Structure 1
Amino acid sequence: MTKYLKRQSLRIGAFVLLIIVYLLNESLLEAATEYAGKNPGLANRFIGVMLITVAALLVLFTWLYNRQLKRYNPRQFGRKPFTRQRVARLILAFIIIYVVQVAWSQLIVHHLLPMPSNQTELESSIRQLPVWNNIYGVLIAPVFEEYIFRGFFFNFFFAKKSRLSTIFGVLISGLIFGYLHTLSFSVTTLLYASLGWVLAGTYLYFKDIRYSIALHFLNNLMSLI
């Protein structure tokens, strides 16, 4: 029992550390955005540091993820071939996310739900530094977030292949994903959690993190169009 608690504590610590590292990298973009209008030279330095750390973290995350799969991988995660059937099912998952987004936006338009506060902040950041905020949001964030909230999360806590483990894994993964996008428990948290649930289901169904990354990419891209 003591050994189990120690192992789980180490996993929780490692998972939290990965989130902190990602948030610190994201804070470099926030700093660049803040100085974009006041001190462009300093903003460019922040962007340069951000790009260097993005490259380093992508290499690190990829190495850690593949290392974990080699050590213990009962769910048989890995690289699966892209086929027409798989792509068609990925498109179906995207349609599900799109329907959720449209339904939620209609509730906001009709004043049945409030506008997410983080959405307002995001739009403000994009106005101040459009190119890099869009690049980060569409191309970089999906990779980091899928590694953390799907890849590492299931490897650390729900690697066991069972129905109960799958249900709890998807539920908790989505809730953590939702909370970290709102930093509070609200109705809006459920919107992000529902997106997290679809992404977690995608990862577990296809057993290839590239599919959930692609779906996450398409979702974020859709918000810009």
Structure 2
Amino acid sequence: MLDGYSLKKYDWKDWTLMIITSSLALQVIVTLALSLYGPFILNRFFNTPFTIEMLDLIPVYGTIYGTIASLPLTLWVVHKREIPLFNRKQLTKNQSFILRGLSKKDWKFLLFYIPSSYILYILGENILINLLGPSEPINQIAVESMFEYIPVWQMFLMIVVVAPIAEELLFRGMILFSGDRRETTWLRVCISAIIFGFVHTPTDLLSIYTYVGMGLIFSYAAKHTEAVEASIVYHFLNNLLGFIVILTL
């Protein structure tokens, strides 16, 4: 997989399996499974009664465990279907630097692009806050509330490790790139960013800017380098920063 599979068009099986194993789908599946079988499992195997408080936590556990489960399942699909998502340029170990699939040239670009684009993104966000007033996205509120019930290491795994890889493989790997070509179009950049943004359930103009804007800068990182690994790195750093900020609150 790290050597890179031959470029090919994604077929309906690729799309179906990638969507089913995505964090979004698995969150729903795990939540439904816990709702249906949670009481039975607790009573049968743990001799623990099911309470109303536990019922309220089902969506929380469904979200975190569905997200965590998505990474190994998605990687399994990529491997079994030989979907060309990793190392699309098929760089050798000698051509790669630090991370397989990214060259020294790619890293030089990222060292400039990530801080400069992030500063511009934050400036735009502050302008909107001054114009519209502050607001916190529902998605962000939900994530922060999970820290009350979920161990920090599991939250780190979900936010910093799993989400950047699993989400980028779907939104940048599958949607941004057509599969049979290394390069992509600006139309695909916009489509990828918009879908990524609205999947995160924005409720106002500021939250639309937050998620669609982030989707745009992730997408351009992948477009410029022709590598999903670039957007994974950016997404990882963004989520790591957000995770640290939440811990300091």
TM-score strictly above 0.5 = yes
Give ranges in structure 1 of 5+ residues lacking alignment: 1-7, 70-75
After alignment, is 98-107 or 83-92 more displaced?
A: 98-107
8 A Cα contact 1:126 1:134, kept in partner: no
> Percent of aligned positions with the same letter in both sequences?
23
CA distance in 1, matches of 2:177, 2:232: 17
Aligned letter for 1:119? Answer: Q
State the alpha-carbon separation in 1 of the partners of residues 89 and 182 from structure 2.
11
After superposition, residues 57-136 of structure 1 pair within 5 angstroms as: 57-64=74-81, 66-68=82-84, 77-79=89-91, 81-82=96-97, 83-95=103-115, 96-101=117-122, 103-104=124-125, 107-108=128-129, 112-129=133-150, 130-136=152-158
Instruction: Supply the distance in 2 between the matched residues of 1:183 and 1:19 (Cα, whole angstroms).
Output: 21
Following superposition, the deviation at residue 24 of structure 1 comes to 3.2
> Which whole-Å CA distance do the structure 2 matches of 1:93 and 1:29 have between them?
38
What is the CA deviation profile of residues 152-182 of structure 1, one whole-angstrom value per residue up to 9, with x for unaligned ones? 11344x85677xx611011111001101012
Question: What amino acid does structure 2 have at the position aligned with 1:25?
Answer: L
CA deviation map 1:129-167 (0-9, x unaligned): 1321221111001111111011111344x85677xx611
Deviation at 1:23, TM superposition (A): 1.4
TM-align CA RMSD: 4.0
Describe the shift of the 1:102–1:118 C-alpha distance in structure 2 as closer, same or farther (beyond 3 A). farther
SS of aligned partner of 1:224: helix
What is the alpha-carbon distance in structure 2 between the residues aligned to residue 50 and residue 114 of structure 1? 26
CA contact (8 A) 2:68 2:157 kept: no
Using the TM superposition, give the Cα deviation of residue 59 of structure 1 relative to its aligned residue in structure 2, in angstroms: 2.1
User: Residue 46 of structure 2 corresponds to which residue in structure 1?
Assistant: none
Tell me the secondary structure at the aligned position of residue 179 of structure 1.
helix
Distance of 1:114 and 1:103 partners within structure 2 = 15
Quote the Cα distance in structure 1 between the aligned partners of 2:143 and 2:127: 20
Query: Hey, what does 1:18 align to over in structure 2?
Result: 18
3-state secondary structure, aligned to 2:96: coil
Q: What is the TM-score normalised by the length of structure 2?
A: 0.63
Assess if the C-alpha contact under 8 Å between 1:126 and 1:133 holds in 2: yes
Match of 1:3 in 2: none
Larger Rg: 2
User: Hey, which of these two has a bigger chunk of helix by percent?
Assistant: 1
Residue 57 of structure 1: CA displacement? 2.5
- Alpha carbons of 1:52 and 1:112: their partners in 2 closer, same or farther (altered >3 Å)? closer
1:152 matched to 2:174? The reply is yes
Instruction: Name 2:191's counterpart in structure 1.
Output: 172
Q: Look up the equivalent residue of 1:210 and give its one-letter code.
A: E
Equivalenced residues, count:
203
Change (3 A) 1:26 1:138: farther
Displacement after TM superposition at 1:87 (Å): 1.8
C-alpha deviations, 1:19-64, integer Å up to 9, x for none? 3433133454897xxx9xx66xx99x97788756632332213444
Instruction: Tell me the equivalent position of 1:72.
Output: none
What is the one-letter code of the residue matched to 1:67? I
